[in-house]
Amino acid sequence: MEIITVGISPNTERDDVQLALKVLCMPWCWFWEDARGHVTSWFEKHYISRHVTLFSSGRSALTALLTACGVGEGDEVILQAFTCMVVPNAIRFTGATPIYADIDGSANIDPTGIEKAITSRTKAIIVQHTFGTPADMDSVMHIARTNHLLVIEDCAHALGAVYKGRKVGTIGDGAIFSFGRDKILSSVFGGAVLVKETGIAQKLRTIENHASYPSVFWIAQQLLHPISMGIILPLYTSGIGKLFLVILQKLHFLSFPVSKSELLGNRPKKYIQRYPNALAYLLMGQLQKSDRYFKNRQAISSYYERKLKAMHIPYLDNRETSARLRFGMVTGQSQRIIRGAKQKGVLLGNWYHNVVDPVGSDMNKAGYEKGSCPKAEQLAKTIVNLPTRITQKQADWVIRNIQSI
């Protein structure tokens, strides 16, 4: 049976492999604007009245947005614990300081934690819609408006999610989306900024215009990712696929999702860069499948809810219309379940198993103080992420494995 996985390129299908191979063989079109234009138009159509700017990653898009909003030296930005190292990095790279708030039952930022974290230096709040489930935006926006703070929606997990009839990404002052390899839609790397205010949009375009494109080598690395996954995933459970993945990463044919430099809190030399047309071609293929992916994730998540409820296993609150990037199961046996499932070809994600992930992140650079967010720390110990971009047969296999461990 082919490996079932949460984080190893879950969106890659045969046509994605074929498209990546085709684009790899057409280097003359890597820096054109046609595919980029289609991506921009798609977001403008689906997020009406929003100005769209594209960057090479969601994290660089976040730094660009914060900068365009005037966040800088001496400012503080509130974010939730239970997040990725690239988020506090994005704040720090503007010169501002990340300040952490604890989470609620949906693994999103707790509004009461925001209120406790506000100081005279607070400039903005970053609201991460964790695993695609919308945060309590009514409460967040009330707090922000009362205290004259900016609200940035981190929609890296949440493309397609809806909060009380409004698409996430249209509620705050600005939003970022990610097209990383394990996100709702993927071009391996890439990110978009959406803003309503024309002045901020103009500043973002200035930042983009002053940025360079990634190198030809870097673009080739990303195009090789779906191609290699077409070989790696079918062979992963035999051990050959995993060995092939490690070798390709060691030889730098494939890049890591988070570099060692970023884990240590250092700003990469080439950080804010333009979104290359080559990756936009990959995203165009994914955009055509967005409705099917969304319905697939909804159906599988509903199945998990029924099964886990019958098994008396708790799971994260999935309020509103979640994009269901991952389905968070909560158990005191998380590591035993993850290890047992892995032996049977099911890689259950435990992201985030640190309050600031991944493993090896420098907590001092991240600015997180141990014990300051107890709910996030507890969830990091007990979360197991079930895959949602799979078939019903695979979901049955996941549940049977959980039952047998």
Question: Residue 135 maps to which CATH number?
Answer: 3.40.640.10
User: What pLDDT is attached to residue 345?
Assistant: 86
Q: What is the pLDDT of residues 16-50, one digit of tens each?
A: 999 999 999 999 999 999 999 999 999 999 999 89
Q: What sign does the CA torsion over 125, 126, 128, 133 have?
A: positive
Average pLDDT score over residue span 170-177? 98
Tell whether 301 and 396 lie within a shared domain: yes
What average pLDDT is seen over the chain? 95
* Structural domain contains residue 243: no
* Residues counted in the chain: 405
User: What pLDDT is attached to residue 238?
Assistant: 78
* Structural domain contains residue 389: yes
**Which residue type is seen at 46?**
H
186 and 9 in contact (C-beta within 8 Å)? yes
d(CA 325, CA 59): 18
Q: What is the pLDDT of residues 135-165, one digit of tens each?
A: 999 999 999 999 999 999 999 999 999 999 9
**DSSP state string for 145-183:** HHHT-EEEEE-TT-TT-EETTEETTSSSSEEEEE--TTS
* Structural domain contains residue 137: yes
Question: Whole domain around residue 121: which residue ranges?
Answer: 14-210
Report the helix count and the strand count for the chain, using DSSP H and E. 16, 15
Tell whether 138 and 37 lie within a shared domain: yes
Last residue of one domain, picked from the residues 191, 210, 229: 210
Last residue of one domain, picked from the residues 171, 192, 210: 210
127 and 172 in contact (C-beta within 8 Å)? yes
- pLDDT of 320 higher than 90: no
Tell whether 301 and 162 lie within a shared domain: no
Q: What is the pLDDT of residues 303-315, one digit of tens each?
A: 999 999 999 999 9
Last residue of one domain, picked from the residues 184, 210, 236: 210
What are the helix (H) ranges across 69-105?
A: 86-92
Who contacts 118 (Cβ-Cβ below 8 Å, separation ≥6)? 78, 143, 147, 149
- pLDDT of 1 higher than 60: no
Tell whether 308 and 204 lie within a shared domain: no
User: What pLDDT is attached to residue 239?
Assistant: 82
Tell whether 393 and 296 lie within a shared domain: yes
Tell whether 22 and 144 lie within a shared domain: yes
- pLDDT of 102 higher than 60: yes
* Structural domain contains residue 5: no
Average pLDDT score over residue span 68-83? 98
* Structural domain contains residue 54: yes
| Number of domains, the chain | 2
Question: Residue 394 maps to which CATH number?
Answer: 3.90.1150.10
190 and 54 in contact (C-beta within 8 Å)? yes
* Structural domain contains residue 116: yes
* Structural domain contains residue 147: yes
Write down the pTM of the prediction. 0.96
Q: What is the pLDDT of residues 325-382, one digit of tens each?
A: 999 999 999 999 999 988 888 888 768 899 999 999 999 999 999 999 999 999 999 9
C-alpha closest to that of 373 among 102, 185, 106 = 102
* Structural domain contains residue 30: yes
* 394 burial via Cβ count (<10 Å: 0-12, 13-18, 19+): middle
Q: Which residue has the tokens 């983009």?
A: 208
